[in-house]
Amino acid sequence: MKLLDQHLKDYLALRRGLGFKLRLADCLLRQFIGFAKDNRASRITTDLAISWATQPTTAQPAMWADRYRTLRLFAKYLSSLDVRTEVPPAGLLSQRRHRKSPYLYTDEEVIAVIRTASKLPSPKRLRGISLSTFFGLLAATGMRVGEAVALNREHVALSDGLLTIHHPKGGRTRLVPIHASTCLALHRYQRLRNRICPQPNSPGFFLTEQGTRFNPATIRSWFARVSRQTGLRGPADRRGPRLHDLRHRFAIQALLRWYRAGQNAEVHMPELSTYLGHRHVSGTYWYLSATPELLEEATRRWRRGKGGPKL
Phi-psi region of 171 (alpha: psi -120 to 50; beta: other; left: phi over 0): left
Is 37 a catalytic site residue? no
As a whole number of angstroms, the distance between CA 81 and CA 71 comes to 16
A 10 A CB-CB count for 49 gives: 25
In angstroms, what CA-CA distances link 67 with 8, 16, 56, 82, 236? 15, 19, 11, 22, 33
Report the sign of the C-alpha dihedral through residues 37, 41, 45, 51, in that order: negative
Q: Which residues contact 194 (CB under 8 A, 6 or more apart)?
A: none
Instruction: Give the residue among 201, 189, 191, 197 at the shortest CA–CA distance from 130.
Output: 189
Is 11 a catalytic site residue? no
Q: Which residues contact 17 (CB under 8 A, 6 or more apart)?
A: none
Is 244 a catalytic site residue? yes
Q: Which residues contact 261 (CB under 8 A, 6 or more apart)?
A: none
Measured in residues, the chain has a length of 311
Strand ranges in the chain using DSSP code E only, listed in sequence order: 156-157, 162-165, 174-177
Please identify which of the residues 228, 244, 300, 301 carries the catalytic annotation: 244
Please identify which of the residues 7, 72, 127, 144 carries the catalytic annotation: 144
Residues 22, 15: contact at Cβ < 8 Å? yes
Instruction: Give the residue among 107, 128, 105, 111 at the shortest CA–CA distance from 246.
Output: 105
Is 124 a catalytic site residue? no
Is 98 a catalytic site residue? no
Residues 128, 143: contact at Cβ < 8 Å? no
Please identify which of the residues 127, 193, 247, 249 carries the catalytic annotation: 247
Please identify which of the residues 169, 174, 225, 242 carries the catalytic annotation: 169
Residues 239, 100: contact at Cβ < 8 Å? no
Is 278 a catalytic site residue? yes
Q: Which residues does the annotation mark as catalytic? A: 144, 169, 244, 247, 278, 287
